[in-house]
Amino acid sequence: MPVQLVRRFFTVEQYYRMAEAGILSADDRVELIEGEIVEMTPIGSRHAACVDRLIRLLDRAVGDRAVVRAQNPVRLSERSEPQPDLALLRPRADFYAQAHPGPQDILLVVEVAETSASYDREVKLPLYARAGIPEVWLIDLEGRGIEIFRQPGSQGYQDVRRVGREERLAPQAFPDLDFAVAEIMGI
């Protein structure tokens, strides 16, 4: 007789209760994806440097027009609370102290991939699209380019394009900004 594996899925509230009970600690690098607790890949030095560069570039460029948030949770649904490398959020006086930002608060999500590009494309991007996140950048450090995803829908993003290191790009929410891909990626 074959063994049937039973998977247990969690809500965001249950996930937080696990942390309160000490089952998950502050040192655990995990996120909740579609009800499953997923261990995040370690952050390498190139990855960290890229995130730091992006924080500096975006923070200076957007000023008070948006909140730049790095490696903190965004609540997409009752069963998903990923921690993107960077999120550009609608400004709020409390800086989201009352609750993590939801899909309606997010202007741009950025995922930096040194070794996780396929996971980001296959798992996280469809999740962001279903939640209605208007724009996602996937910075592929190995592929040396940035993939831009716009026009979210239930089947994924309808507008997908890749920009190379010699090109420039701007967030859809702030078309007046202009960044060199090479500057973002540090190449």
Give per-residue pLDDT as tens, 171-186: 999 999 999 999 998 8
Strand, coil or helix: 143: coil
**Residue 18, domain member (yes or no):** no
Q: Which of 74, 181, 90 is nearest to 137 (CA)?
A: 181
User: What pLDDT was estimated at residue 116?
Assistant: 82
The identity of residue 67, as a single letter, is V
The residue ranking higher by pLDDT, 6 or 63, is 63
**Residue 19, domain member (yes or no):** no
Q: Is the pLDDT of residue 137 over 90?
A: yes
**Residue 2, domain member (yes or no):** no
Q: Which of 62, 59, 63, 50 is nearest to 181 (CA)?
A: 50
Distance CA 127, CA 73 (A): 14
| Count of beta carbons in the 10 Å neighbourhood of residue 105 | 19
**Residue 10, domain member (yes or no):** no
**Residue 1, domain member (yes or no):** no
The residue ranking higher by pLDDT, 64 or 1, is 64
Residues 57-81 as b or e (16 or more Cβ within 10 Å = b): bbeebbeeebbbbbbebbbbbebbb
What CATH number is given to the structural domain containing 51? 3.90.1570.10
User: What pLDDT was estimated at residue 84?
Assistant: 96
User: What pLDDT was estimated at residue 186?
Assistant: 84
Q: Is the pLDDT of residue 1 over 70?
A: no
Distance CA 109, CA 7 (A): 29
User: What pLDDT was estimated at residue 112?
Assistant: 95
171 class by beta-carbon count within 10 Å (0-12 exposed, 13-18 middle, 19+ buried):
buried
**Residue 65, domain member (yes or no):** yes
**Residue 25, domain member (yes or no):** no
β-pair type (106-113, 135-140): parallel
pLDDT tens per residue across span 86-131: 999 999 999 999 999 999 999 999 999 988 888 999 999 999 999 9
User: What pLDDT was estimated at residue 45?
Assistant: 92
| Distances from the Cα of 17 to the Cα of 21, 33, 42, 56, 90, angstroms | 6, 16, 24, 34, 28
pLDDT tens per residue across span 19-42: 889 888 888 888 889 998 888 888
Host domain of residue 164 = 42-185
Question: What is the number of domains present in the chain?
Answer: 1
3-state per-residue secondary structure call for 12-62: HHHHHHHHHCCCCCCCCCEEEECCEEEECCCCCHHHHHHHHHHHHHHHHHH
**Residue 108, domain member (yes or no):** yes
Q: Is the pTM of this model over 0.85?
A: yes
